[in-house]
Structure formats: structure tokens, C-alpha cells
Structure 1
Amino acid sequence: MKGHFVISLDYEIHWGVFDKKTVDEYRENLENVGKVIDRLLEMSDKYNVKITFSTVGFLFAEDKTDLFKYIPENKPTYLIEKFSPYPLLESIGNNEKEDPFHYALSRIKQIKANGNHEIGTHTFCHFYCHEHGQTVEQFDDDLKSAINIAKPLDIDIKSIVFPRNMIEANKLIDRPYLDVCHKHGIGSFRGKEKAYIYNIHTTKFYHGWYLFKMLRLLDAYISVTGSNTYKVEVINKDKKVYNLPSSRLLRAYSSKLKFLEPLKVRRIKKAMTHAAKHKEMFHLWWHPHNFGTQIDENFKNLEQIFKTYKKLNETYGFESETMTGLAKKIKASQQE
């Protein structure tokens, strides 16, 4: 297989941060998500880059009545109640026009109409698989709702990004969640980076947690953990649901650390080049709302990355692919 460039976006608007910030506390980022989507589609068309929009199921609803039709009876029973979005539903607006922070049907239709991208799932309610109190059965029902609410748009959900990356590909405790995905026809997920500072259980307490956070921040600018690129056909032998692990979070532009921005972009470009030369996958991800402030600066960085992709495509045959598109290629290569 050739090398591949994969981008997955956690498309969630306020549902991704509702347990951390109110709309007012994060308003500018949230208000500009629509503008960000427009520019992403325009720039991806320009450089022929494919994107997987891993979308929270709530965003598919036409209005509140439509949303309530798909809510599962078996909702997550988190021990910490603030992690459930369901109590918030009564206070949201009735539709996207009234409340663009909690609905996104028009944008989802826009992405689908583009024809170059994939719409996957980020679960129905931004489900946390590692939070205490929830069950695999509840995740199963949540995933059914995510799949069903997409069907009226003729969208067949085939990939998943787990909220807050709450999945560990090689741990027995998380295997039942992947079995549920397989049962529902989902063929790929975004796993964590192979480096230890990323690949730890999300809700367990770890001594030195702040050290991990500092190392992750440092790793965005200089190579602490290496390229984090992968021979996906090798790591997915005998797997039911293919793991397409993250290589790098594209952190938002930082005014405080603007002198380090060139290092951040250079780090990504070097890893992409490594993947292209060694016929591996480089998987980049972020949230559209991350680009909601300092939009021009964020897209300037992204365009540098896309220009590098174009050169690598011309030189090494490096290919942009959606998560499901790459999963199909892996399956085909294993059947040869």
C-alpha cells in the first residue's frame, strides 16, 4: 500500500464541551463553526484533500421533536451526572435557525453534497465509554440512534471517533465497545497515538498526570514521541474493526506561543513526509470549533499542511483518504 493522509474532525459544536463550558463562555468559537466548515470545504477542494467529519448524532436533528424521536430509552447512567447531555435538551432551541450551537442539519447536508468527504459518527450523545456508571448496552443503544438519525439523509455510518478518545485498542476492557461497532457495520475507528504519554486510560488517576500534559504540549512543537505514523495493514491483521490511530492533534493557533507556530507546522510536515516515504499513514485531527477564533491564522497553518500534502502526493503518490476509504483499501490488501 502507498502512504496515506487521513484527517478526522470531531464535529460536535457545543455538545463536545457542554460539560466544561457554557455557550456564553465559548461563544466566539461556537458561533464561527459554520464559517470554519465553509473554509474547510473550500480549501479541501482546492488541494483535493478528503476529510472524515465524525459527527455527534444530535446535530442531525431537524428540530427538537425530530431529536426526541431518536433518543434511546437506555441512556448513559454516569456516576457523575454532569457528563450526560440529556438534562440540557429541554433548554436548547427548537431548531438550527434558533440554536446553531446544538443543531447542524444544513451543514451536514452541505458536507454530504460536496461528495468528497465522509460523515462518520462521534456517537449520538457524545458518549463517554470510559466514564464510570455507563454500560456497553447503553453504548449499543446510543450507536443505534446515531446510525438511525443519519439514515433519512441517506448517510451510512461506517466509521467512529470516540468522544475524548475514550478507547484503548489493545485492552480487553474496551473490546466489547469495538464488538458493538462491528455488529453495527462500523469498519474503522481512530485509536490513540502509540506513544505512552497519549495511550493511557482516560479516567484513571496517574501519578505525574501534569507531566504527561506538559510532554504532550512540548510534543506539538518538537519531536518527543517521533512521527507517530503507521503501517496500517500490519497493525490491523485479524481485526474486526480497523484501528486508524491518531498521529497528531492540530492544535489551534496560539497568540501566546505564536513564535512556536512555525515549529508546530514543521513538526507535522516532517511526519507527513516520513509517512509518504515509508508508505505509512499520517492521521491528523482536531475540532472545527478549535478554529473558531483567529480563523485566518489557523487556516494559514492548515494551508501550509495541505501544500505539503500536494507535493508529497506528486512525489511519492501519498494519498488523501477518508477513514472508511482507507479501511476498504486495507481489507482489499489483506484479500490479495
Structure 2
Amino acid sequence: MNGIFTISLDFELYWGIRDKKNLATYRQNLDGVCSAVEGLLALFQKYEVHATWATVGFMFADRLDDVLLPSENKIPSYSDQNLCPYRYIKECRAIDHIYHFAPDLISKIAKVKGQEVASHTYSHYYCLEPGQNVEQFREDTRLACNIAEKNGYQLKSLVFPRNQFNESYLKVLKDCGITSYRGNERSWMYKASSGLEQGLIKRTARLLDSYVPISGNHSYFLSDLGVQSPRDIPASRFLRPYSSKLKALEGLRLRRICRELKEAAKLGKVYHLWWHPHNFGVDLDQNLNFLEEILNVYSTMSEIHGMQSLNMKEINEIIG
């Protein structure tokens, strides 16, 4: 079996960081999302890279009035009400389209060969936060599938927001026709947890792991994925965005990823890279140039070892 290179993107606009960052403080990143998406699509076409765009369901809407709302008893009952986007919607009736909705961008993505439009849940749902429950997640998933179908898309893959994988919720995905999801890297520092369980030690370890191999290599064989449905297609590495403060370490970050990608190609393994488009919203040229270095390595591995690029849906389909 030849190696496989896959990319998944958490496409979320302000919905993904609304409970963590004030819009004013993150506006520059969000202003750059459209250019980032166009730059990514251009690179993916150039290098024939297939990718999964896990998209927050709200973003399929043209405007706030088109957002489908759950019944009152199905709204996520987070203990921390700041996490609830419906509270935000209720309090901010005049929200800016560019930071919350992207039907035209989603359409542009879908028209590029090899790009899968997938789910990042409907409301950027947090599956491990206290207070919410499986029936509320079921409603969220139903709404995500409905709004996607209304716009001509069938959701087959899902990425859990904040990587809050919850095994108890997998049956909901299966019932709704979702056949694959992105699991977490197999290391203590990447273990699924609520926001309160993250902690400084975990965050620091993950930062260091982007530059030096603390947690090891997280590529894997297709045979490791099993036969369960929905199928876990785990992440291998987060593509951390460029940082001027850590500019001196860029070579380490690049070599870390490229070594793993080369090893996966040589051994016939899957290498799964992921990030958010808004990570590229600032320092766009530096981020795209860095990504192109990686894609150049993929292209070489494709020529030498027959490595191929597949999105999550395609990986699940070839396993059968």
C-alpha cells in the first residue's frame, strides 16, 4: 500500500473563537480568511492535494435570519453559558456577515477537485463541556446535515470542535450518515478534554512538540483504522501558524513535519495534517510559503514512493 497524505481544515470563522477572543482583537485574522482560502485552493490545485474542509453549519447560511434554531430544550445547556452561540445570536442581532457566514466561499471550495465539504458541527458544539448532553448533540448534528443538504452538500466526515472527541456520541454520527471523523493524536498531550482540563502543561507540551519530537511520529497504517463506523482517521500533526517571535525556530518546525511526511511515504502510512484557515489570516505569505515547502516534499514523495493525496471521505471509501 502506498502512503497517503491527507489534510483537514477546521473552517469556522468567528464561531470557532467567539468564546475565547473579542472580535476586535481577532479581526485581522478573520479579515484575511478569504485570501487564505483562495491561496490554499491555489496551492491544492497546483500540487493536486485533496483536503477535507470541516465547516461550521452556521456558515452555510446567507444571513442571520437563515440560521436554523433548535427548540428551546435542545439548545446546548453548557454550564458555562458563554460557550453557547445561541445566547450570542440572541444578544447580537446585527452581526457582521463577513465574520460569520461564507456560503460563497464554501461553494468555491466545493468546485475545486478533491475538496470535501464536511462538518465541524452545526454550532461549533463542544462535546466534553459540562452541562450539554447527547440529545442536544443529536439535534445539532441533524441541523448541520439539514442546512448542508439544503445547499447541495452531503456531509460524510466530521471534526469535533476543540478536538473534544466523545466516544459516547459516535452513534449519533452513524445515525446521521457521517462515516468518518478526525480523532486525536495518540499522546497524553493531545487527549480529548474540556477547556478547563487543558492546562498550561498540556499547551506548552504541544507547542514544544511542533518543533522537537516530544510525542513521536503520529502517522499510521490504514490497517490500524479498523472497521468500525464512523471510522476514526486520526490527526498526525497540527500545522502551527508562523510566529515572528519564534522565527528562529521555523527550520525546526519545517523539518519536524517533512521528516514525518517522508517516513509515512516510505513506509506506506497515512500522514494527516490539520489547521484552521484563520491561522493563515495574518502573515499569509509566510504561511503559504511554509505550506508550499511541505507540498513540494509531498510532490517528491508522490513521484518516488507513489504517495497519494486523499481527503477523509476518500480514505474511508478505499478501506471499504
Query: TM-score, normalised on structure 2?
Result: 0.96
Q: Kindly provide the CA deviation profile for residues 131-158 of structure 1, in whole angstroms up to 9, marking residues without a partner as x.
A: 0010000000000000100112220000
2 CA distance for matches of 1:80 and 1:239?
33
Which amino acid in 1 is paired with 2:201? L
Give the number of equivalent residue pairs.
Answer: 317
2 CA distance for matches of 1:315 and 1:205?
43
Q: Secondary structure at the match of 1:325?
A: helix
The 5 Å alignment of 1:169-318 reads 174-203=166-195, 205=197, 209-234=199-224, 236-318=225-307
Pairwise CA distance, 1:307? 0.4
Among candidates 113, 116, 122, match of residue 115 of structure 1: 113
The percentage of aligned residue pairs carrying the same residue is: 39
Tell me if the contact between 2:163 and 2:192 (Cα under 8 Å) persists in the aligned partners.
no
1 CA distance for matches of 2:295 and 2:194?
31
Tell me if the contact between 2:29 and 2:279 (Cα under 8 Å) persists in the aligned partners.
yes
Tell me if the contact between 1:92 and 1:99 (Cα under 8 Å) persists in the aligned partners.
no
2 CA distance for matches of 1:10 and 1:139?
18
Q: Secondary structure at the match of 2:98?
A: coil
2 CA distance for matches of 1:307 and 1:210?
35
Tell me if the contact between 2:63 and 2:97 (Cα under 8 Å) persists in the aligned partners.
no
Structure 1 gaps, min length 5: 168-173, 332-336
* Aligned residue number for residue 161 of structure 1: 159
Which amino acid in 1 is paired with 2:10? D
1 CA distance for matches of 2:145 and 2:192?
29
2 CA distance for matches of 1:204 and 1:92?
29
2 CA distance for matches of 1:22 and 1:92?
17
1 CA distance for matches of 2:2 and 2:94?
47
Pairwise CA distance, 1:205? 3.9
Which amino acid in 1 is paired with 2:66? D
Which amino acid in 2 is paired with 1:296? D
1 CA distance for matches of 2:50 and 2:151?
20
Distance 1:285 1:204, change over 3 A: same
2 CA distance for matches of 1:272 and 1:88?
41
2 CA distance for matches of 1:142 and 1:63?
19
* Aligned residue number for residue 170 of structure 1: none
Pairwise CA distance, 1:300? 0.8
2 CA distance for matches of 1:250 and 1:291?
10
2 CA distance for matches of 1:227 and 1:296?
28
* Aligned residue number for residue 171 of structure 1: none
* Aligned residue number for residue 334 of structure 1: none
Root mean square deviation of aligned Cα: 1.4
Q: Secondary structure at the match of 1:38?
A: helix
Structure 2 gaps, min length 5: none
* Aligned residue number for residue 17 of structure 1: 17
Query: TM-score, normalised on structure 1?
Result: 0.91
1 CA distance for matches of 2:201 and 2:70?
39
2 CA distance for matches of 1:238 and 1:287?
29
1 CA distance for matches of 2:195 and 2:27?
28
Which amino acid in 2 is paired with 1:217? L
Residue 129 (structure 1) aligned with residue 127 (structure 2): yes
Pairwise CA distance, 1:212? 2.5
Tell me if the contact between 2:114 and 2:310 (Cα under 8 Å) persists in the aligned partners.
no
* Aligned residue number for residue 87 of structure 2: 87
Tell me if the contact between 2:57 and 2:120 (Cα under 8 Å) persists in the aligned partners.
yes
Pairwise CA distance, 1:321? 0.6
The 5 Å alignment of 1:40-55 reads 40-55=40-55
Tell me if the contact between 1:198 and 1:216 (Cα under 8 Å) persists in the aligned partners.
yes
Pairwise CA distance, 1:202? 3.1
2 CA distance for matches of 1:65 and 1:311?
48
